[in-house]
Amino acid sequence: MPRKEIKLPYKLERLSILDEKGKLDKSLEPDIPDELLLKLHRAMLAARRFDERLLNLQRQGRIGTFAPITGQEGAQLGAVANLRPDDWMVPCFRETAAEIWRGKTMDNAIIYFGGFDEGARPEDERNDLPIAVPVGSQTLHAVGLACAMKYRRKDTVVMTFFGDGATSEGDFHEAMNFAGVFQAPVIFVCQNNQWAISVPRSKQTRSETLAQKAFAYGMPGIQVDGNDVLAVYAAVKEAVERARAGEGPSFVECDTYRMMMHTTADDPKRYRSEEEVDEWRGRDPITRFQKYLKAKKLLKDTDIEKLEQEIKGEIQSAVDRAEALMKKLGDPLDMFSHTYAEIPPHLAEQKEELSQVLTSDKQEANHG
């Protein structure tokens, strides 16, 4: 029998609308209201400054370790800006900008990174899940939620974020397969920031792109310039509309870069060159977007200076409130209070054991 080419229903595209120098492809420019463009810019700038302040707090020993997002503001905000309030967002551990866009306060972010679980609790009105630290595990949660939305005949969609490292995990492939088979309304947003801690993208996979993995699971995939907020917005908008129309899941690979360390617990100078960082610094998503907004006469240098002062004040107020609250928190038994509605027997036993240890320590201290 002759060999025959199998025709696949998908082809892979890379989308870029605003290049590194701020040059616009007018034919691809998305129709985004001016108000939303300015809101996106403010959110990107606030996320950058908040990231810098968190690093400052961590280095002073005022909070614990966290995962910086500098360089990835366009990927996160361009994606999440397409969600309605009643849609679901399922983050991993590097979505601070997206979480704040959805309504998380800077106060709670500081409290969480300060080591208090109270900061991880989503506000009641937010259909978001807390941060998931185990790599890739949250993709399964997202598909479960999406299947539930479909079962209940709702038109809400689910967006989950993960990094390039997660695409090497079994959970990711199980989630993609399940979503494809059951046509779950979920959008997989991969922030390919080139490094899974110290492992480069080239050692994650032999695939030319991460986006092409979508085809194996029967869903459309696209690679976008993740430092181009317009391209991310446009690609994710199409994916959200497909999901909301009952046409199943999509995979969006945002080709971006982590400008700082993986977390504040590692030193990136030990595994990547400064030349590489400098090259990506020239593709900064905020600088590029500001050039676009200035060209549209929506933004001036004086506007940016005013915004910088406003944001600085907002962040300082959040730090003051969070540090005041953290002084009132700190009962170690609280760690058992925010995971299960009814505590399982083995955790109840651990809680009782810890309570006895703490009581004993307190009595010993009182006796000198």
Please list the active-site residues: 258, 262, 271
Whether residue 249 contacts residue 146, with contact meaning beta carbons closer than 8 Å, is answered with yes
Counting beta carbons within 10 angstroms of the beta carbon of residue 117, is it exposed (0 to 12), middle (13 to 18) or buried (19 or more)? middle
Taking CA atoms, 326 is separated from 68, 111, 265, 311, in Å, by: 21, 7, 22, 22
Taking CA atoms, 107 is separated from 115, 195, 288, 316, in Å, by: 13, 29, 29, 10
d(CA 106, CA 43): 12
d(CA 238, CA 201): 26
Q: Are strands 199-200 and 195-196 parallel, antiparallel or unpaired?
A: antiparallel
Among 182, 183, 131, 194, residue whose Cα is nearest residue 161: 131
255 forms beta bridges with 192, 225
Whether residue 88 contacts residue 157, with contact meaning beta carbons closer than 8 Å, is answered with yes
Evaluate the CA torsion angle 323, 328, 333, 334 in order and state its sign. negative
Q: What distance lies between CA 27 and its chain's CA centroid?
A: 29
d(CA 347, CA 222): 44
Q: What ranges in 246-298 are assigned the alpha helix state H? A: 274-281, 285-295
d(CA 187, CA 159): 5
Length of the chain: 368
d(CA 44, CA 265): 24
Q: Given its phi and psi angles, is residue 129 left (phi above 0), alpha (psi -120 to 50 degrees) or beta? A: beta
